[in-house]
Amino acid sequence: MNVMQRESFKASDYKSDVTPVWCPGCGDFHVLLSLTKALAELGTGPENVAVISGIGCSSRIPAYTNCYGFHGVHGRSLALGAGLKVARPDLTVFVMSGDGDGFSIGGNHFLHACRRNIDMTYVVMDNRVYGMTKGQPSPTTEPDWDSALSPGGTGLRPFHPLVIALASGANFVAREFSGDIKGTTRTIVEAVRHPGFSFVEILSPCVTFRPDERAWKTQTHVASVEATDDPARAARRIMTDDGFNTGVLYRGRRKPYEQHVTDSSVEPAILEQEFAI
Amino acid sequence: MPNEAPSNARGSISFAIVGSGGAGALTAGAILLEAAGKSGWYGIMNRSVGPQIRGGEAAALVRLSNRPVDCMAETFELLIAIDWRNADRFADEMPLTSDGLVIGDPANGGAPDTIAGPDIRQAHIALKELAGSLTGGRENMIVVGLVVGLTGLPIENVTSVIADKLASKGKQAIETGRRCVEIGVQQAAQLGPSFTIETLAASQTGRWLITGNEAVGLGAVRGGIRFAAAYPITPATEVLEWLAPALAKVGGALVQAEDELASINMVIGASFGGRPSITATSGPGLALMVESLGLAAASEVPIVIVDVMRGGPSTGIPTKSEQSDLNIAVYGCHGDAPRIVVAPLSVADCLFTAHWAVHLAEAMQTPAIVLSDQSIGQARVLIDRPADVAFIAKRNILKVVSEEGYSRYALTGSGISPMAVPGTAGGQYTADGLTHTVKGIPSSKKVDHHDQLDKRERKIAGFDYGDHWAATENNCAAGTHADFTVLTWGSLAGAAREAMATLADEGIGVKLVALRLIAPFLKNKFLAALQGSQRILIVEQTRSGQFHQYLRANCDLLGEVRHFHRPGPQLIGPTEICTEIRNWRAS
């Protein structure tokens, strides 16, 4: 929730000149565009924004921005982001992840990040597949999706990140489609402005390993009702919709995590008194 | 020697107080230790508890002395049992001296054979009945009185500690406590030969009462740490419990993470943000952290990891000490991931070594591991008020961005490159665990891989560690050649020092080389310190001899070398080291 209005910025001010590794047509290009547009709208200087990620196609995004970035190890980006935000509450912190990085190897951190409710924005580019390792099923992959690693499909029910976020205490829950630049930009702006932990799941097609996901363009639709502040109601809606409802689905009122580091002039010598006898 | 000292006065005494959980054995030990500090004595207390965390049996192992002490004694002069329930579980840990005394309550029967054989003097004091004679009377306070009577600890210092500790319970409780102590003192007078400690005139300086875990925390904060993230684990939890309120007082923060994978990454994130950061754990936690230890090395983010070692592998013996995390600390990680590994040489040295670790990590922008262990982490010790340490953590922070732009991982001579802190305009870069260019952009080119690996190695290899890398001491007069060298590391320096003092009295010259800096291995300084050593005894607390192997891997040890090593849970003590040396001398 850092709104440091300065001189006006353009989306291009937030983009680096590093060429993405993504395949042509990858939904993540659109997410990068929406992110930089959202940053321009927020007006926070790139030096006051940190983009943190783990491992996977989507996690390559920090270097494609002109912000401070951290491309960490697989699954631990939320922890990196949490430490940074507690240490530097003045920064706008984004954690950018994918369905494998965020929900499989990083699943436990997802629960606790929602529960901890640190004021940062978590964007997961969900393409329901491990793309960087060339096509294995992820926790959000359909049970019958055939692959070399899971011939005939996993037979496992995909899990529902939005409902898990709600149950775990996330303070803002939204779903977007990467192709909807306008909607995604608006939602990212709202997510940053909303206090506490904001979770935005972006359906971002993998055109290489999941060409069927091109259909998301026509399947997704803007939710017909306003966001609620009642988590039970939000959960019911999310669990009973067609999975392609987009927009802000829940805006909570939980108090964000309060502890943070400050510049204090108190000397450590005061801590020594308890030891003297 | 002051005239008033009784003729049988001694320099130190070790005693154990045992009882089932809630009987107050640990409280009694803590009161006596603090009172000893107020009396100008030194001391150390370790707790021993059964596998159940609460409600099981507990033992306070205390050693009081008129000189500084760095380790527990291996044998005990005095054992007092509030009850004997499961006390034989501790039998291994508290062997009695031949002139030892065992005191129990007759209502509980005699001591188990495992604790006191037929040759050991036993006395019976009706602790329960005596305590019951006062409303609210407690057996453990009678025990305090017994120790006061037997050691000559000034009673006024004991009652003042009791008054502090029981302040919240009201005047009546304090008065009852004081009377219980008096009863104990009276009972002690009837027990025959006592264990009076001779008070040295020079020992009346200011004392601190501190555990190794607390000292690590304080040293870290003194060094500049303002952020911590950690997951509870025995025997490191007290580091966190001390740091949480302490950091809050100096503007810092501690986050309890969901696991150690999160702890280390939170710490990396906070340090990336410009705040010196720490986590504390034990072996199982360090095992979980090693992947991200490599991230800190590759992305050049300074962090400090405290490992309070316990018996391993796997869950091992969580409550007992071992030095068997040396390998994982030095080598643990895929790829070449240079790091600093330091080890405190005593409880008091935890303060300095943790402080130094922060300095090293920050100065070199690299992970630093502090290898403490249970034997010093959880020991509460009376030490002289420690000196202030001059150095504070200084990170090379990017101040001005040049016209050509900023290269986070620029190839400098020292290997250390200015680090931009978020918020600095023009300093934006992406820290990356992928092999990267000088600008931090991912690369799989040979030149980048080699350059960056070389740079990370260079900053550690070329750093000036000063004289802090080891403690090198001699027990014989200057110019005299020591016949033996004891070569050890970390907390075992305490036992080695005490062995040296004993051997000096026997005219056996011993030199000590105790490594505080484990990695990098400073070969030249190490070999210079061993110059002229003919007989080297390597001492370590592992089954496999990790330290010995590490030394052999790094240099050729000249002279005759013997290796004394054993895993936990029993600590290697000074007597054993003396025996090794004496046997070698006789052979």
User: Is residue B43 pLDDT above 50, yes or no?
Assistant: yes
Residues B184 and B222 both lie in one domain: no
Per CB-CB distance under 8 Å, the chain B contacts of A270 are 249-250
Cβ-based contacts of A91 with chain B (< 8 Å): 273, 422-423
- What is the CATH classification number for the domain harbouring B521? 3.40.50.920
Tens-place pLDDT, residues B296-323: 999 999 999 999 999 999 999 999 999 9
Q: Would you state the pLDDT for residue B390?
A: 74
Put simply, the answer to whether A47 touches B424 (Cβ < 8 Å) is yes
- Name the residue in chain A with its Cα closest to that of B268: A80
Q: Which of residues 238-267 of A touch B (CB under 8 A)?
A: 259-264, 266-267
Cα–Cα distances in angstroms (integers) from residue B109 to residues B96, B102, B119, B125, B539, in the given order = 19, 12, 17, 11, 41
Cβ–Cβ below 8 Å for A80 and B273: no
Q: Are residues B537 and B405 in the same domain?
A: no
Tell whether B70 and B199 lie within a shared domain.
yes
**Cα–Cα dist B373/B213, whole Å:** 9
pLDDT for A201:
98
* DSSP conformation letters of A76-113: -HHHHHHHHHHH-TTSEEEEEEEHHIIIIITHHHHHHH
What integer pLDDT is reported at residue B456 of this predicted model? 98
- B532-568 pLDDT, tens per residue? 999 999 999 999 999 999 999 999 999 999 999 999 9
Place of tokens 């939170």: B266
Q: What six digits make up the tokens of B300?
A: 């050049």
B8: pLDDT confidence band, cut at 50, 70 and 90? Answer: low
Length of chain A (residues):
277
Q: Look at B208 and A277 and tell me if their CB atoms are within 8 Å.
A: yes
Confidence of residue B3 (pLDDT cuts 50, 70, 90): very low
Write the CB contacts of A114 (distance below 8 Å, at least 6 apart in sequence).
A164, A165, A168, A169, A170, A197, A199
Report chain A residues whose CB lies below 8 A from the CB of B238: none
**Helix (H, G, I), strand (E, B), or coil: what is residue B367?**
strand
Residues B110 and B249 in one domain: no
Q: What is the pLDDT of residue B194?
A: 85
* Whole-number average pLDDT of chain A: 96
CB atoms A70 and B272 under 8 Å: yes
Contacts of B265 in chain A (CB under 8 A): 72-73, 76-77, 79-80, 83
Task: Give the integer Cα–Cα distance in Å for B215 and A268.
Answer: 13
Instruction: Check whether residue B363 and residue B414 sit in a common domain.
Output: no
Mark which of B187, B203, B219 sits at the end of a domain: B203
Chain A residues in contact with B380 by the CB 8 A cut-off are none
CATH number of the domain residue B247 falls in: 3.40.50.970
Question: Which A residues in the span 14-73 are in contact with B, Cβ-Cβ below 8 Å?
Answer: 18, 45-48, 50-52, 60, 62-63, 66-73
- In chain B, the residue whose alpha carbon lies closest to the alpha carbon of A21 is B442
CA A245, A248, A252, A257: dihedral to nearest 10 degrees? Answer: 120
Q: How far apart are CA A219 and CA B257, in angstroms?
A: 39
CA distance B235 to chain A (A): 20
Q: What pLDDT is recorded for position A7?
A: 67
Residue B389 inside a domain? The answer is no
Between A16 and B89, the more confident residue is: A16
Helix (H, G, I), strand (E, B) or coil at B122: strand
Judge whether A83 is closer than 8 Å to chain B, CB to CB: yes
Reduce the secondary structure of B517-552 to three states and give it as a string. Answer: EEECCCHHHHHHHHCCCCEEEEEECCCCCHHHHHHH
Q: Residue A23 contacts by C-beta under 8 Å, 6 or more apart in sequence? A: A131, A206, A207, A208
Q: Give the nearest chain B residue to A64 (CA atoms).
A: B430
Residue B7 pLDDT > 50, yes or no? no
- B414, B437, B463 - which closes a domain: B463
Structure tokens at B291: 């992947």
pLDDT of residue B51: 62
β-strand pairing of A221-222 with A245-251? parallel
B257 and B186 in a single domain? The answer is no
Domain boundary among B162, B185, B203: B203
State whether B292 and A76 contact (CB < 8 Å).
yes
Residue B4, domain member (yes or no) = no
Question: Please, which pLDDT band fits residue B449 given cuts at 50, 70 and 90?
Answer: very high
Chain A residue nearest residue B260, CA to CA: A79
Task: Read off the pLDDT of each residue in B10-18 and give the average, rounded to a whole number.
Answer: 93
Q: Give the span between the Cα atoms of B353 and B344, in whole angstroms.
A: 5
Select from A45, A80, A276 the Cβ nearest to the Cβ of B269: A80
Output the pTM of the full model: 0.96
* Residue B21, domain CATH: 3.40.920.10
Q: Which of A2-11, A24-33, B194-203 has the lowest mean pLDDT?
A: A2-11
B228 and B138 in a common domain: no
With 0-12 / 13-18 / 19 or more C-beta atoms within 10 angstroms meaning exposed / middle / buried, residue A63 is buried
| Mean pLDDT for chain B overall | 94
Higher per-residue pLDDT: B7 or A173: A173
Cβ separation A47–B428 shorter than 8 A: yes
Q: Does A6 touch chain B (CB under 8 A)?
A: no
Distance separating alpha carbons of residues A21 and A24, to the nearest angstrom: 9
Cα–Cα distance for residue pair B483/B476, rounded to 1 Å: 10
Q: What's the gap between Cα A48 and its chain centre?
A: 18
Count Cβ atoms below 10 Å from residue A241 Cβ, excluding itself: 15
Contacts of B409 in chain A (CB under 8 A): none
Res B6: pLDDT? 46
Instruction: Verify that B308 and B377 share a domain, yes or no.
Output: yes
Using one digit for the tens of pLDDT, what is the confidence trace for B486-508? Answer: 999 999 999 999 999 999 999 99
Task: Name B513's bridge partners.
Answer: B472, B487
For B371-425, how does the pLDDT look when each residue is reduced to its tens digit (9 = 90+)? 999 999 999 999 998 887 777 778 999 998 888 899 999 999 999 999 999 999 9
Give the range of the structural domain holding residue B430, as residue numbers without chain letter: 396-449+458-463
Structure tokens at A198: 């904001």
Q: What is the pLDDT of residues A78-101, one digit of tens each?
A: 999 999 999 999 999 999 999 999
Same domain? For B360 and B425 the reply is no
Interface contact flag, B251 A268, Cβ < 8 Å: no
Q: What is the pLDDT of residue A1?
A: 44
DSSP three-state, residue A266: coil
B479 and B508 together in one domain: yes
Domain assignment present for B391: no
A202 C-beta neighbours (distance < 10 Å), count: 30
Asked if the structure places residue B333 within a domain, the reply is: yes
Confidence (pLDDT) at B199:
78
Say yes or no to pLDDT of A3 above 70.
no
Euclidean distance between CA atoms B526 and B531, whole angstroms:
9
Residue of B nearest to A60 (CA): B442
In sequence order, what DSSP letters do the residues of B125-172 get, joined into one string? Answer: --HHHHHHTSTT--HHHHHHHHHHHHHT--HHHHHHHHHHHTGGG-HH
Say if B71 falls within a structural domain.
yes
Q: Is the pLDDT of residue B2 over 70?
A: no
Averaged pLDDT, B152-181? 95
- Which range (A34-38, A249-253, B109-113, B163-167) has the least confidence? B109-113
The separation between CA B122 and the C-alpha centre of its own chain, rounded to angstroms, equals 34
How many separate domains does chain B show?
Answer: 4
Model confidence at B117: pLDDT above 90? no
> ipTM for the complex?
0.97
Question: Does residue B479 have a pLDDT over 80?
Answer: no
User: What is the Cα–Cα distance from B264 to B440, expressed in whole angstroms?
Assistant: 21
Going by pLDDT thresholds of 50, 70 and 90, the confidence category of residue B1 is very low
SS3 at position B491: helix
Q: Are residues B191 and B246 in the same domain?
A: no
Domain ranges across chain A: 17-275
Among candidate residues A188, A246, A196, the one with its CA nearest the CA of residue A32: A188
Are B471 and B517 in contact by the 8 Å Cβ rule? The answer is no
CA distance A65 to chain B (A): 9
Of A48, A70, A81, the CB nearest to B430: A70
Check if A81 contacts B (Cβ < 8 Å): yes
CB pairs under 8 A between A and B: 190
Asked whether residue B7 is domain-assigned, the answer is: no
Per-residue pLDDT band at B87 (split at 50, 70, 90): confident
User: What's the DSSP call for residue B10?
Assistant: B
- In this prediction, residue B54 carries a pLDDT of 64
- Among the residue ranges A98-107, A245-254, B83-92, B270-279, the one predicted with the least confidence is B83-92
Lookup result for tokens 């000490």: B321
Any idea how long chain B is?
587
Lowest mean pLDDT segment, chosen from A258-267, B54-63, B97-106: B54-63
B218·A268 Cβ contact <8 A: yes
- pLDDT reading at A45 higher than 80: yes
Q: Torsions phi, psi of A165, nearest 5?
A: -60, -45
- In CATH terms, A17-275 corresponds, of 3.40.50.10470, 3.40.50.970, 1.10.357.10, 3.30.465.10, to 3.40.50.970
Query: Which residue type, as a one-letter code, is found at position B503?
Result: L
Q: Are strands B303-309 and B340-342 parallel, antiparallel or unpaired?
A: unpaired
How far apart are alpha carbons B430 and B48 in whole angstroms? 48
The pLDDT of residue B507: 94
